[in-house]
Amino acid sequence: MGTEKCFFVHDRALCESTNIGFGTRVWAFAHILPGAVIGADCNVCDNVFIENDVVVGDRVTLKCGVQLWDGITLEDDVFVGPNATFTNDIFPRSKIYPNEFKRTVVKKGASLGGNCTVLPGLVIGSNAMVGAGAVVTRSVPPNAIVVGNPAKIIGYVDAKSNLNLVENAPVPSVSHSSVKGVTLHWMDEVTDIRGSLSVGEFGKTVPFDVARYFLVYDVPTAETRGEHAHKECHQFLIVVKGTIHVVADDGVNRQEFILDSPSKGLYLPPMTWGIQYQYSNNAVLLVFASHLYDPKDYVRNYDEFLSFK
């Protein structure tokens, strides 16, 4: 125990690093190598092993049986469940070492469930949730919830249920959501023996002048689209076939919508973080946009989006 260093080390732990923050606790049978950097207020539980090229932020919890190998960074407020497994070499051989280990980063506020496995060189996004036993083979977006082997997105943290607020809603009609400026539109639909027709008007049903449209289709069900915001461009989403889940996020509130009818449209104003996922087989998404394509209009990093907001 080093009272002069203001952190606690159990008398049956081996802590060779002196770069450990105020209030951190290292419990029995943990082993921390001298090069490791551990932040303040962390909890390092029994039987944790931490190598040299490891950076751990503040208020991180490492439950029993976790090993952090060279090349791993855990940002502030990360939770790592018992026996979660990190790897740092995509093609390991005994006594053969790469020139540099792939860096794995777990961003601020993310949680990793017990017994999950994270492959090397990935980024687990801020506030993401990895389910117990999941095998993470690709980077996880911010706020995503992933489960399974290989891990797939099944939802988003704090996303309120989809906005089907009005049963038998009058047509046409508009419902406001908890996300600033985002609205769900029910459009005119005509159905008879010859088939069905859904209709909307630009500048009215679609609440802006349209400069461009695009179609998204043949998306594997495991894939996620979007994951960006626009600085100036307005968008209006209609699923012309199948079902798609859409998450809209204004930086404070997050809500999930299910688009499952050509007579239903979702309006996303500028500076709304948008995600589309869980595409059904043969789903087709039609998007109307207020601006011509401009790569400078995109905000593709969620932390950058939050800083803009």
Neighbours of 213 (CB within 10 A): 11
| Predicted confidence (pLDDT) per residue in 59-111, tens digit | 999 999 999 999 999 999 999 999 999 999 988 899 998 888 999 999 999 99
The pLDDT of residue 2 is above 50: no
Confidence at residue 193, expressed as pLDDT on a 0 to 100 scale:
84
Contact 299, 227 (CB under 8 A): no
What is the Cα 295 distance to its own chain's centre? 22
Confidence at residue 4, expressed as pLDDT on a 0 to 100 scale:
60
Neighbours of 294 (CB within 10 A): 11
Confidence at residue 3, expressed as pLDDT on a 0 to 100 scale:
44
Angle at 268 between CA 265 and CA 271, to 5 degrees: 175
Residue 266: CB partners within 8 Å, gap ≥ 6? Answer: 182, 183, 184, 185, 236, 237, 238, 246, 248, 257, 259
| Predicted confidence (pLDDT) per residue in 26-69, tens digit | 999 999 999 999 999 999 999 999 999 999 999 999 999 999 99
Residue 95 DSSP code: T
Say if domain 160-308 classifies as CATH 3.20.20.80.
no
| Predicted confidence (pLDDT) per residue in 145-193, tens digit | 999 999 999 999 998 875 444 445 555 688 999 999 999 999 888 888 8
Per-position DSSP letters for 103-127, written without gaps between them: PEEE-TT-EE-TT-EE-TT-EE-TT
Per-position DSSP letters for 20-50, written without gaps between them: B-TT-EE-TT-EE-TT-EE-TT-EE-TT-EE
The mean predicted confidence, pLDDT, of the chain is 92
- The rounded percent of the chain whose pLDDT value lies above 90 is 78
Domain range annotation of the chain: 160-308
- Kindly list the distances between the CA atom of residue 8 and the CA atoms of 28, 155, 274, in Å, as whole numbers in the listed order: 11, 38, 44
Contact 289, 208 (CB under 8 A): no
Confidence at residue 169, expressed as pLDDT on a 0 to 100 scale:
56
Confidence at residue 167, expressed as pLDDT on a 0 to 100 scale:
47
Residue 295: CB partners within 8 Å, gap ≥ 6? Answer: none
pTM, to two decimals:
0.87
